[in-house]
Amino acid sequence: MEPTQESVPDDGAGVAPSATAPLAPARTRQTLPPKGACWYCDKPLDNVRRFCDKECADAFDEEKEYTR
Protein backbone atom coordinates (compact mmCIF):
# COMPACT_ATOMS: atom_id res chain seq x y z
CA MET A 1 0.00 0.00 0.00
CA GLU A 2 1.41 3.34 -1.03
CA PRO A 3 0.06 6.72 0.00
CA THR A 4 -1.45 8.76 -2.78
CA GLN A 5 0.54 11.79 -3.79
CA GLU A 6 -2.29 14.21 -3.16
CA SER A 7 -1.36 14.49 0.50
CA VAL A 8 2.05 16.07 -0.10
CA PRO A 9 2.42 18.14 -3.25
CA ASP A 10 6.10 18.76 -3.89
CA ASP A 11 5.80 21.59 -6.39
CA GLY A 12 4.92 24.22 -3.81
CA ALA A 13 1.93 25.39 -5.81
CA GLY A 14 -0.65 23.80 -3.59
CA VAL A 15 -0.47 26.25 -0.72
CA ALA A 16 -3.85 26.81 0.83
CA PRO A 17 -5.01 30.32 0.00
CA SER A 18 -6.63 30.67 3.40
CA ALA A 19 -3.41 30.06 5.28
CA THR A 20 -1.85 33.32 4.19
CA ALA A 21 -3.42 36.18 2.30
CA PRO A 22 -0.88 37.18 -0.31
CA LEU A 23 -2.74 40.29 -1.39
CA ALA A 24 -3.77 43.25 0.74
CA PRO A 25 -3.25 42.08 4.31
CA ALA A 26 -4.82 44.80 6.42
CA ARG A 27 -4.89 48.13 4.74
CA THR A 28 -5.25 51.41 6.49
CA ARG A 29 -8.75 51.94 5.24
CA GLN A 30 -9.95 48.69 6.74
CA THR A 31 -9.03 49.85 10.20
CA LEU A 32 -11.08 53.00 9.93
CA PRO A 33 -14.47 53.27 11.54
CA PRO A 34 -17.34 54.25 9.28
CA LYS A 35 -18.16 57.88 9.96
CA GLY A 36 -21.18 58.46 7.78
CA ALA A 37 -19.17 60.07 5.03
CA CYS A 38 -16.46 59.14 2.59
CA TRP A 39 -13.08 59.37 4.27
CA TYR A 40 -11.57 60.63 1.08
CA CYS A 41 -14.01 63.08 -0.47
CA ASP A 42 -16.40 63.55 2.47
CA LYS A 43 -19.44 62.68 0.47
CA PRO A 44 -22.28 61.61 2.77
CA LEU A 45 -22.71 57.85 3.06
CA ASP A 46 -24.65 55.40 5.14
CA ASN A 47 -23.22 54.37 8.48
CA VAL A 48 -21.55 51.17 7.41
CA ARG A 49 -19.45 52.38 4.52
CA ARG A 50 -16.15 54.24 4.65
CA PHE A 51 -15.84 55.22 1.02
CA CYS A 52 -18.32 56.04 -1.71
CA ASP A 53 -16.53 53.82 -4.17
CA LYS A 54 -13.38 51.84 -4.80
CA GLU A 55 -11.62 54.75 -6.41
CA CYS A 56 -11.92 56.83 -3.28
CA ALA A 57 -10.72 53.92 -1.16
CA ASP A 58 -7.72 53.36 -3.40
CA ALA A 59 -6.89 57.04 -3.52
CA PHE A 60 -7.10 57.25 0.24
CA ASP A 61 -4.77 54.29 0.64
CA GLU A 62 -2.32 55.80 -1.79
CA GLU A 63 -2.19 59.02 0.15
CA LYS A 64 -1.56 57.10 3.35
CA GLU A 65 1.24 55.18 1.74
CA TYR A 66 2.93 58.34 0.59
CA THR A 67 2.55 60.24 3.83
CA ARG A 68 3.81 57.54 6.12
Is 52 a residue that touches Zn ion (CB under 5 A)? Answer: yes
Is 40 a residue that touches Zn ion (CB under 5 A)? Answer: yes
Is 57 a residue that touches Zn ion (CB under 5 A)? Answer: no
Positions 7 through 36 that interact with Zn ion (CB under 5 A): none
Radius of gyration of the chain (CA): 20
User: Judged by CB under 5 A, which stretch of 16-24, 29-37, 38-46, 60-68 contacts Zn ion?
Assistant: 38-46
Answer whether 43's CB lies under 8 Å from 52's CB.
yes
- Give the three-state DSSP class for 67: coil
Is 60 a residue that touches Zn ion (CB under 5 A)? Answer: no
User: What values do phi and psi take at 33, rounded to 5?
Assistant: -80, 145
Alpha carbon 58 to its chain's center: 11
Where along the sequence are the contacts to Zn ion (CB under 5 A)? 38, 40-41, 43, 52, 56
